[in-house]
Amino acid sequence: MKLFIYHTPELTPTDKTPDCAIVVDVLRATSTIATVLASGGEAVQAFSDLDQLIGVSDNWPLEKRLRAGERGGAKVTGFELGNSPLDCTPEVVKGRRLFISTTNGTRALQRVQDSPIVLAAALINRAAVVRFLLEKQPEIVWIVGSGWEGSFSLEDTVCAGAIAHSLLAQSQLSPAELAGNDEVISAIALYAQWQNDLLGLFHHASHGQRLLRLESHEDLKYCAQTDILDVLPIQQEPGVLKSQ
């Protein structure tokens, strides 16, 4: 297995696809996707375009769908949900499909949707992602951070590092054998530095600060937890993720 980390979808190679692509948007799209599926949601369907989301979801029965829209960290007017995983309780999402569009995470999913395997990862479901990788042993793996509007983000990189750190701990691979690019080594170092204070790191992150201004401190606390959900969101058809 060779692991490559790309901080944003814009940095991924345009002339190839990996055997397995893992999209990370810790604050908050992939944390929300994992939570929806763990709470009994039928599926999560991701869109980069709000109008396309509305058009597709209009074909679903009202009682079987939820629309979640976020721009700039805030909920889109007219949508039932924003991008807070804390709103995705079983009472709200069970048996329903969540149609979601966010500022960053859904763009990353769209970038890699042609890969044979596409997973959604966050800190909260890291163990499930690592277990899948160790079982399936895909040859080339990309972890694609969503970043913030095309720029680097601490929270996505530390999650990529958490995945890589756990892979090393549970396999016979050395860092040199696992790492396909320098970003892997730097992400592991970031996680090693902050693994006991991930919430503290989120407070340093520009998007963490943006969410704090929106009074989303509880979201940060939730998303900073590791390995609390045994759920693996995996793409079943382009843009549609279901629980493995």
Q: Three-state SS for 176? A: helix
Residue that the structure tokens 């889109």 belong to: 76
Taking the C-alpha atoms of residue 98 and residue 18, their distance in angstroms, rounded to an integer, is 27
- How confident is the model over 89-96, as a mean pLDDT? 97
Backbone φ, ψ for residue 195 (5° rounding): -60, -25
Q: Which range is least confidently modeled, 48-52, 94-98, 176-180?
A: 48-52
**Sequence-separated (6 or more) residues with CB below 8 Å from residue 164:** 3, 5, 143, 178, 179, 184, 187, 188, 191
Amino acid identity for residue 134 in this structure: L
Amino acid identity for residue 168 in this structure: L
pTM comes to 0.96
In a domain, 177, yes or no: yes
**Sequence-separated (6 or more) residues with CB below 8 Å from residue 184:** 3, 4, 5, 160, 164, 175, 178
The pLDDT score that the predictor gives to residue 81 is: 94
In a domain, 124, yes or no: yes
Helix axes 154-170, 126-136, angle to 10 degrees: 50
* Of 46, 36, 179, nearest in space to 109 by CA: 46
pLDDT band at 148 (very low <50, low <70, confident <90, very high): confident
- How confident is the model over 149-177, as a mean pLDDT? 96
The pLDDT score that the predictor gives to residue 107 is: 87
Give CA angle at 105 (124, 157), nearest 5°: 60
- How confident is the model over 48-64, as a mean pLDDT? 94
**Sequence-separated (6 or more) residues with CB below 8 Å from residue 145:** 5, 6, 7, 8, 24, 25, 108, 152, 153, 156, 157, 159, 160
pLDDT band at 160 (very low <50, low <70, confident <90, very high): very high
Q: What is the pLDDT of residues 182-240, one digit of tens each?
A: 999 999 999 999 999 999 999 999 999 999 999 999 999 999 999 999 999 999 999 99
Q: What is the mean pLDDT of the chain?
A: 95
In a domain, 213, yes or no: yes
Tokens encoding 127: 């163990």
- Total tally of structural domains belonging to the chain: 1
* Structural domain of 106: 2-238
pLDDT band at 48 (very low <50, low <70, confident <90, very high): confident
Q: What is the pLDDT of residues 10-34, one digit of tens each?
A: 999 999 999 999 999 999 999 999 9
User: Do residues 242 and 34 touch, judged by C-beta distance below 8 A?
Assistant: no
The full length of the chain comes to 244
Q: Residue 73 pLDDT > 90, yes or no?
A: no
In a domain, 243, yes or no: no
Q: What is the pLDDT of residues 213-223, one digit of tens each?
A: 999 999 999 99
In a domain, 37, yes or no: yes
Q: Residue 103 pLDDT > 90, yes or no?
A: no
The pLDDT score that the predictor gives to residue 231 is: 98
150 or 45, which is more confident?
45
Taking the C-alpha atoms of residue 8 and residue 222, their distance in angstroms, rounded to an integer, is 23
* CATH (domain of 216): 3.90.1560.10
The pLDDT score that the predictor gives to residue 72 is: 84
Taking the C-alpha atoms of residue 33 and residue 98, their distance in angstroms, rounded to an integer, is 9
In a domain, 130, yes or no: yes
Taking the C-alpha atoms of residue 182 and residue 188, their distance in angstroms, rounded to an integer, is 10
Q: Three-state SS for 125? A: helix
